[in-house]
């Protein structure tokens, strides 16, 4: 574990709720005083009003939120947490935090979920990585490493956004007259390497979407490897992570790791960094 992360987690001994509000689902996790997940859950965004996030039940003292689900969902989340009168921080991407540099043209426009995932990945590997979040949309981000003043930094140099596996299939069903709709697509239980030569339309749609995602990841891996002159790790999170990894590892030899709650891990690091900055400011006054 990175020394800075260790210091953050030992300095800031407080229970923290992280909320990762994605396009379709909201994931939450409670980190204990040691920085470990003690409780977690997930619900559809439409069901957030019925989720019990009370600190009396979960034991947290403050919350940090990444929301890419829109303003209305943010209002619902704020409404759920406001009765508890606890500190809540809404994450936005920044030019640099936690030894990660954001090279987006306008750093603040990077999605907060992608930003948190990049921070978690850098603190996990401290090496070039391709970071994949496989949900309703698929994001494929390149994390390089660079040295500044004899210190190693992660450097987000850019990425791709694709429709997710389900969304690609749905879009074909909606935009074409004779192709089966998404709810009629039968997903192969165990995709095989020869499935790229699909013999039925449902398999052709499914495998077309899957191989489009895998192909984009492979391209990012090859390009980042040329850029960094290192073999990057592949870090995958999200609901379709295992499906994508199963096919991807047939084509690439890079170490490919599935990390559950990657965004939540990044939110915890961000909240810890903010708390330590505030502590240092208080000590200086």
pLDDT in tens, 148-196: 888 999 999 999 999 999 888 888 766 554 555 555 444 444 444 456 8
CA–CA dist 124, 144 (Å, integer): 14
Identify the pLDDT of residue 169: 84
For 250, the token pair is 């047939």
Three-state DSSP at 259 gives coil
Matching residue, tokens 């956004």 = 161
CA–CA dist 125, 235 (Å, integer): 10
Count CA within 13 A, CB hemisphere, residue 45: 17
CA–CA dist 121, 129 (Å, integer): 8
Identify the pLDDT of residue 201: 81
Identify the pLDDT of residue 38: 93
Phi-psi region of 276 (alpha: psi -120 to 50; beta: other; left: phi over 0): alpha
Question: Catalytic pick from 20, 49, 113, 260?
Answer: 113
Select from 3.50.40.10, 3.30.420.40, 3.60.20.30, 1.10.1040.10 the CATH code of 3-92: 3.30.420.40
Identify the pLDDT of residue 186: 46
Q: In the chain, which segments carry CATH 3.30.420.40?
A: 3-92, 126-254
Query: How far are the Cα atoms of 50, 121, 132, 158, 236 from residue 259, in angstroms, in the given order?
Result: 27, 9, 10, 21, 6
CA–CA dist 136, 116 (Å, integer): 17
Those residues of the chain that have pLDDT short of 70 are 1-13, 173-195, 274-285
Matching residue, tokens 């969304």 = 167
User: What is the fold of 126-254?
Assistant: Nucleotidyltransferase; domain 5 (3.30.420)
Identify the pLDDT of residue 174: 61
49 is catalytic: no
């Amino acid at each position: 574990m990175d020394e800075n992360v260790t210091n953050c987690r030992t300095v800031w001994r407080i229970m923290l709720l992280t909320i990762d509000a994605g396009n379709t689902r909201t994931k939450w996790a409670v980190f204990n005083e040691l920085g470990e997940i003690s409780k977690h859950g997930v619900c559809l965004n439409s069901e957030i009003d019925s989720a019990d996030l009370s600190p009396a039940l979960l034991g947290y003292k403050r919350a940090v939120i990444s929301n890419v689900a829109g303003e209305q969902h943010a209002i619902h989340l704020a409404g759920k947490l406001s009765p508890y009168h606890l500190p809540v921080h809404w994450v936005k991407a920044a030019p640099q935090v936690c030894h990660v540099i954001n090279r987006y043209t306008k750093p603040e426009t990077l999605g907060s979920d992608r930003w948190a995932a990049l921070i978690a990945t850098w603190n996990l590997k401290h090496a070039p990585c391709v970071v994949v979040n496989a949900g309703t949309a698929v994001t494929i981000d390149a994390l390089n490493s660079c040295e500044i003043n004899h210190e190693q930094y992660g450097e987000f140099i850019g990425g791709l956004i694709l429709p997710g596996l389900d969304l690609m299939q749905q879009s074909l069903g909606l935009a074409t007259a004779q192709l089966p709709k998404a709810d009629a697509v039968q997903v192969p239980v165990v995709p095989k390497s020869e499935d790229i030569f699909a013999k039925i339309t449902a398999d052709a749609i499914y495998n077309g979407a899957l191989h489009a995602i895998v192909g984009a990841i492979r391209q990012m891996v090859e390009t980042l490897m040329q850029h960094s002159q290192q073999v990057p790790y592949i870090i995958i999170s999200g609901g379709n992570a295992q499906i994508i990894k199963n096919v991807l590892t047939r084509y690439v030899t890079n170490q490919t790791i599935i990390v559950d709650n990657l965004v939540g891990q990044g939110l915890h690091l961000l909240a810890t960094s903010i708390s330590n900055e505030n502590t240092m400011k208080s000590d200086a006054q």
